[in-house]
Amino acid sequence: MKLDFKEKSPADFFSENMDVCGFDNPIRAIYTAVRELLENSLDACEAADVLPKVNLEIRKEGEGIYVIRIEDNGPGIPPEHVPESFGKIFYSSKYVMKQQRGRFGMGGTMAVMYGQITTQRPVHIVSMTEKQIADLKIKIDIIRNSPITEPENIWKAVKPNDTGKQGTTIELTLEGNYQRAREKILEYIKQTAMIAPYAEISFTEPDGSKHLYKREVEYLPPIPKEAKPHPRGVNLELFRRLMAKDPRSKVSNFLVKAFQSIGRKTSLEVLGKADVNPDKRVNKLGSEEIRRIVKSLRKHKGFRPPDASSLAPMGEEMFEAGIKRVLKSEFVKCIQRPPKAYEGNPFIVEVAIAYGGEIKVKEGEIKLYRFANRIPLLYDEWNDVSTRVLKRINWKRYGVKPGDPFAVFVHICSTNIPYKTLGKEYIANKPEIRREIYMGVLQVAREMRNYLNKLERKKKTEKALKTFMKYAETLTSLLSEAVEGINQDEIKGKLREIIVERLKVNEQ
Amino acid sequence: MKLDFKEKSPADFFSENMDVCGFDNPIRAIYTAVRELLENSLDACEAADVLPKVNLEIRKEGEGIYVIRIEDNGPGIPPEHVPESFGKIFYSSKYVMKQQRGRFGMGGTMAVMYGQITTQRPVHIVSMTEKQIADLKIKIDIIRNSPITEPENIWKAVKPNDTGKQGTTIELTLEGNYQRAREKILEYIKQTAMIAPYAEISFTEPDGSKHLYKREVEYLPPIPKEAKPHPRGVNLELFRRLMAKDPRSKVSNFLVKAFQSIGRKTSLEVLGKADVNPDKRVNKLGSEEIRRIVKSLRKHKGFRPPDASSLAPMGEEMFEAGIKRVLKSEFVKCIQRPPKAYEGNPFIVEVAIAYGGEIKVKEGEIKLYRFANRIPLLYDEWNDVSTRVLKRINWKRYGVKPGDPFAVFVHICSTNIPYKTLGKEYIANKPEIRREIYMGVLQVAREMRNYLNKLERKKKTEKALKTFMKYAETLTSLLSEAVEGINQDEIKGKLREIIVERLKVNEQ
């Protein structure tokens, strides 16, 4: 029995494992393709500080064959990077440490590959940068993990850009089941608009129906900056990589330069506990010393919280406004938790709760909206870290039960969202993240309880006022019989004032 | 704003995305590492037709640091393949179309990489093939996706094998939380023994406690053969790849040779419907013709079912025996569905149901055991295709409700299990597979209903018999007073016979 050892290219590997990237079947595949393209467009605009305007269109080309066309007003992709950006797995502009929707840098290429596998058609890209327009068709040589362009020499398809416009337009042909994916695609676009109210998104369905989400806010959230790793939860591998970039520094200076949230004092303290000479050069450290430093970093408690400049949370106000606009809830409360870190990655959790309005809940369930770096997550929620948190909460203590008309919203922002699938369907159970979600949910749940209690008291008060006023009516008319010349309305008014005053005291 | 385009090696990419491979945190990581190593050992033995004997040991090395040691009696890995098998992502002997536990060919390397990232220690491999022993330490150059061996020249660590033994021994040091992973690891080994009763597995815990699963069956299931793809659900990419291997054949012969389950008649019928000349050479086909052939293949209804020789299901008897041994249930029923295919991949679903015995069920839940190619799946069950099926069943019709002491077992065998995560946690929602599970569950649920009905009737019968016999007693004694010389015992016996006969008729 001889075993056959083989090496595969990344493209070859993923072409045989499309399921792990969200291309399980024609329904999920068309949904995932739309998602990946839309997310790339929004990321491109935001990175370039441009208010996004995205036109999305799906056309039917044949039985079960669709064309997705997407056009954005981003900065365009430089012609020399176009072929590999769409035709090579593990080639991307997303491999930097800051908050962005793209995480794996492979979604666009996977969509192109899925289109090619199911229809054998190339993707058509028109990229307009400030100075150039590139108009290319791209297929993937899957065995070699490399792009095949038409024309072969891309510079034949590049001309000067004198239109004054910038942006990228993509036309992708693929097999799909639009009818069955429709509901999720519409929901995805709606929730994207909710969490990116500064973007204008138009969508034309295959039957011609149009959906337009206008811009609601005329400014972009602050652009996240590239971050240094936070020392909390750092591992040996990352530490060695950072060392390799700065081998000649003294280790005490190295710690301050390589990490965020470490000052000179902390650096010396950490090294002291690790029993390492702070003046030693980084490239002179022995492997035992390195191990001790990492251990000491991981045990240290007093780090400053992570710098939030690499993150772009929604903000409580904008998040609440977004929810109110879409769900018309009577009560909405959002809270933003302070920045934390897991495994060196800064993150911020925002949690909101809404009660009433157009919230539709199934019997015995809790409605959960999940967002990660402004991406709505619609599939595979059952194993998600947020779902795990909601299951553990004793909702009775907060005056509600599963099935009541309330909804929980969780938005996780991080330089590195720990998705469990390459299709970005759900988030891993990281203790640090779980804890922040838990704390956030408790906070907003308490606010909801207060609101519901107040509502309850208000109802009681109104009922009580009504009853009292009936007695007051009777009382006044008896009085007017006994005492001459009395002003009934005046007395009723005064009685009412007194009662309202008393009830208000009770309402506190 | 300039974007920074970068290419990453597969190892580099996955070193930053360990979550998608099942290495989310120290609990899950040690569990996943044990799994991947144990699965590789069992695959190696079975592929070589050897009854597996695996010794697994976990030792504590320091605070949160463990060594996993695994030793098997498989054929060993040829020395020249050892470094890349453990030190290069996308290099494997698993890239063939047959049933095996390994699916992505990356689990072993991921475990090595996780160990390296968390402890910087190399993995230690001793591979004993028929003629050679290789004793190597391996680390991974993550940026380059290539192994670093100690010694550098591996042949210095190879000597002749005169021990008469074969097998592979691996010692891997990694960060982990054994205490919290313990329960899942024990459950995993127990269920593995249940579904591979021909394997001897011993496990020694860090505290020295030993678990031994002895061999229960002295023969291996038939070794699955490498298969050709089945034409059902074939896509254009796969079709073109097959064409490239056999460009000079006539297309009618090509279809018969390239696919399983296509004979000459079917080939001509498919090509007729596609309006393609059957005598045309494969390399002369135009892209429109190719598209038509694939369409015609996908529409064709009359293919023979897939050849099951690439699959190795448990078999109804062995599956039932395994369940009975572990759960001691009063009632166990297994059925094997006929072979089917999805996207060209043959598969067989086996479904079992058990009632009573040591089944522990939580309030309102249905106990589900999931297996895929003889691997127990213990995590992330909520999004699994089998869980989806169970939710849709109206259990009341089968005489039970969620929370009753019954359990469902689903075993999916395929040349290509459509996992949704690279950590092989749960299975994608493929309509063909879902349907087979559904049909299987209905079948065994009906059997359970019959069993429960019979049980119910038996109880009633026994009660009725008791009542009748009381009357018979009285009757006989009255009779004996009235008629002289009567044999009371004889009459009672006869009455009993008559009653039992009547009740039996009712029991049918």
Asked if B113 and B11 touch (Cβ cutoff 8 Å), the reply is yes
Burial class (CB in 10 A: 0-12, 13-18, 19+), B46: buried
Q: Number of C-alpha atoms within 13 angstroms, CB side, residue B103?
A: 27
Domain residue extents for chain B: 10-213, 236-299, 308-447, 452-507
Please name the CATH architecture into which domain B10-213 falls: 2-Layer Sandwich (3.30)
The rounded distance, in Å, linking the Cα atoms of B443 and B352 is 9
- Give per-residue burial for B119-145: e unless 16+ CB within 10 Å, then b: bbbbbbbbbbbeebbbbbebbbebeeb
Q: What phi, psi does A408 have (nearest 5°)?
A: -110, 140
Q: Number of C-alpha atoms within 13 angstroms, CB side, residue A158?
A: 18
**Residue A268 predicted with pLDDT over 60:** yes
The rounded distance, in Å, linking the Cα atoms of B469 and B488 is 13
Asked if A443 and A335 touch (Cβ cutoff 8 Å), the reply is yes
> Rounded to a whole number, what is the distance in Å from the CA of B495 to chain A's nearest CA?
56
Q: Do residue B8 and residue A382 have CB atoms under 8 angstroms apart? A: no
**Residue B28 predicted with pLDDT over 90:** yes
The rounded distance, in Å, linking the Cα atoms of A175 and A181 is 12
Q: Do residue A3 and residue B47 have CB atoms under 8 angstroms apart? A: yes
pLDDT at residue B51, rounded to an integer: 95
The rounded distance, in Å, linking the Cα atoms of A87 and A147 is 4
> Rounded to a whole number, what is the distance in Å from the CA of A181 to chain B's nearest CA?
14
Q: Which residue has the higher pLDDT, B23 or A496?
A: B23
**Residue A1 predicted with pLDDT over 60:** no
Residues facing residue B60 across a β-bridge: B66
**Residue B504 predicted with pLDDT over 80:** no
Q: What is the DSSP letter of B406?
A: E
Q: Which residue has the higher pLDDT, A481 or A422?
A: A422
Torsion B160-B164-B168-B171 (CA) sign = negative
Q: Do residue A9 and residue B90 have CB atoms under 8 angstroms apart? A: yes
Percent of chain B beyond pLDDT 70? 97
Residue range B217-233: average pLDDT? 85
**Residue A186 predicted with pLDDT over 90:** yes
**Residue B506 predicted with pLDDT over 70:** no
Q: Please report, for residues A374, B192, B213, B324, the alpha-carbon distance to residue B201 in angstroms, rounded to integers and kept in the order given.
A: 48, 9, 5, 19
User: Over chain A, what is the mean pLDDT?
Assistant: 91
The three-state secondary structure class of B195 is helix
Preceding peptide of B306 cis, ω within 30°: no
Could you report the per-residue pLDDT of B122-143, keeping only the tens digit for each? Answer: 999 999 999 999 999 999 999 9
Question: CB neighbours (10 Å) of residue A497?
Answer: 10
Q: Which residues of A touch B416 (CB under 8 A)?
A: 16
Residue range A66-74: average pLDDT? 98
Residues with Cβ < 8 Å from B234, sequence gap 6 or more? B259, B294, B297, B298, B343, B344
Burial class (CB in 10 A: 0-12, 13-18, 19+), A44: buried
DSSP string covering A464-502, please? HHHHHHHHHHHHHHHHHHHSTT--HHHHHHHHHHHHHHH
Residues facing residue A332 across a β-bridge: A354
pLDDT at residue B1, rounded to an integer: 56
**Closest alpha carbon within chain A to B88:** A7
Q: Which residue has the higher pLDDT, A383 or A186?
A: A186
Residue range B233-256: average pLDDT? 92
- Helices within B301-430 (DSSP H only): 316-327, 385-391
The rounded distance, in Å, linking the Cα atoms of B83 and B246 is 34
Residue at token pair 């699994």: B384
Residues facing residue A60 across a β-bridge: A66
Domain A308-449 has CATH 3.30.479.30: no
Confidence of residue B163 (pLDDT cuts 50, 70, 90): very high
The rounded distance, in Å, linking the Cα atoms of A29 and A26 is 5
Confidence of residue A90 (pLDDT cuts 50, 70, 90): very high
Confidence of residue A223 (pLDDT cuts 50, 70, 90): confident
When CB atoms are compared, the residue of A4, A7, A291 closest to B90 is A7
pLDDT at residue B50, rounded to an integer: 94
Confidence of residue A376 (pLDDT cuts 50, 70, 90): very high
Alpha carbon A5 to chain centroid, angstroms: 41
CATH class, A236-299 region: mainly alpha
Please state the ipTM of this predicted complex.
0.87
Could you report the per-residue pLDDT of B250-266, keeping only the tens digit for each? Answer: 999 999 999 998 999 99
Torsion B396-B401-B404-B407 (CA) sign = positive
Which residue in A406, A409, A408 sits closest to A452, CA to CA? A406
DSSP string covering A343-407, please? TTEEEEEEEEEEESSS----TT--EEEEEETTEEE-S-GGGSHHHHHHHT--GGGGT--TTSSEE
CATH class, B308-447 region: alpha beta
Residue at token pair 């309402």: A507
Could you report the per-residue pLDDT of B285-316, keeping only the tens digit for each? Answer: 998 899 999 999 988 988 888 888 889 898 99
This prediction's pTM? 0.87
Burial class (CB in 10 A: 0-12, 13-18, 19+), B209: exposed
Which of A316-330, A408-422, A482-496, B267-281 comes out lowest in average pLDDT? A482-496
Q: Please report, for residues A51, A73, A201, B254, the alpha-carbon distance to residue A164 in angstroms, rounded to integers and kept in the order given.
A: 17, 11, 21, 54
In B375-474, where do the E strands start and end?
Answer: 375-377, 406-414
Amino acid at residue number A211 = H
Output the six-digit token pair for A165. Answer: 């416009």
Residues with Cβ < 8 Å from A403, sequence gap 6 or more? A361, A362, A363, A364, A365
Q: What is the largest CA-CA distance in chain B?
A: 118
pLDDT at residue B114, rounded to an integer: 97
Could you report the per-residue pLDDT of B169-214, keeping only the tens digit for each? Answer: 999 999 999 999 999 999 999 999 888 889 999 999 999 999 999 9
Could you report the per-residue pLDDT of B404-455, keeping only the tens digit for each? Answer: 999 999 999 999 999 999 999 999 999 999 999 999 999 999 999 999 999 8
> Rounded to a whole number, what is the distance in Å from the CA of A116 to chain B's nearest CA?
7
The rounded distance, in Å, linking the Cα atoms of A206 and A384 is 33
Amino acid at residue number A272 = G
Asked if A415 and A99 touch (Cβ cutoff 8 Å), the reply is yes
Could you report the per-residue pLDDT of B92-112, keeping only the tens digit for each? Answer: 988 888 889 988 999 999 999
Q: Do residue A91 and residue B380 have CB atoms under 8 angstroms apart? A: no
pLDDT at residue A233, rounded to an integer: 77
Task: Give the best residue of A18, A20, A91 to mutate against chain B (max B CB count within 10 A).
Answer: A20
Task: Give the best residue of B2, B3, B173, B223 to mutate against chain A (max A CB count within 10 A).
Answer: B3
The rounded distance, in Å, linking the Cα atoms of A433 and B422 is 22
**Residue B505 predicted with pLDDT over 70:** no
